[in-house]
Amino acid sequence: MKTDQTTSNGNYQRTSEKPVENCPKCQKILTGTIEVSSAVVGGISFVVMEETPDRNWILCDFCNQTICKSCCIMPDSGYCDECFIELKIAPNLP
Ligand SMILES: [Zn+2]
Ligand SMILES: [Zn+2]
């Protein structure tokens, strides 16, 4: 037995935030943002983070530093250079 998707609308709110305006390393102007949407469906709340296509920066998952994508070797990893190297060396990563 499968529960039907309930499309009853609960609270839905949308915020977007960008921590800084310029890359701390190269001073490049940072564009784009992450849109954080939260929705409550069936009493359970979900948070969805989505980057806009023009986003040229990342927020390091490890040290919370904002840095532009051209200042880090692996922007897709979500980590800045320092953390990426550190985590790559750390034995708990493949
Ligand atoms: Zn930069
Ligand atoms: Zn970092």
Ligand 2 centroid distance, CA of 42 (Å):
36
pLDDT digits (tens, 9 = 90+) for 15-25: 555 566 899 99
Ligand nearest to the CA of 71: 1
pLDDT digits (tens, 9 = 90+) for 76-88: 889 999 999 888 7
Question: Of 77, 11, 22, 80, which Cα lies nearest the Cα of 46?
Answer: 11
- Inter-residue contact 45 to 37 (CB < 8 Å): no
Ligand nearest to the CA of 56: 1
Model confidence, pTM: 0.64
- Inter-residue contact 39 to 48 (CB < 8 Å): yes
The protein residues having their C-beta less than 5 angstroms from ligand 2 (an ion) are 60, 62-63, 65, 80, 83
Pairwise pLDDT comparison (67 vs 4), residue with the higher score? 67
The confidence score (pLDDT) of residue 53 equals 94
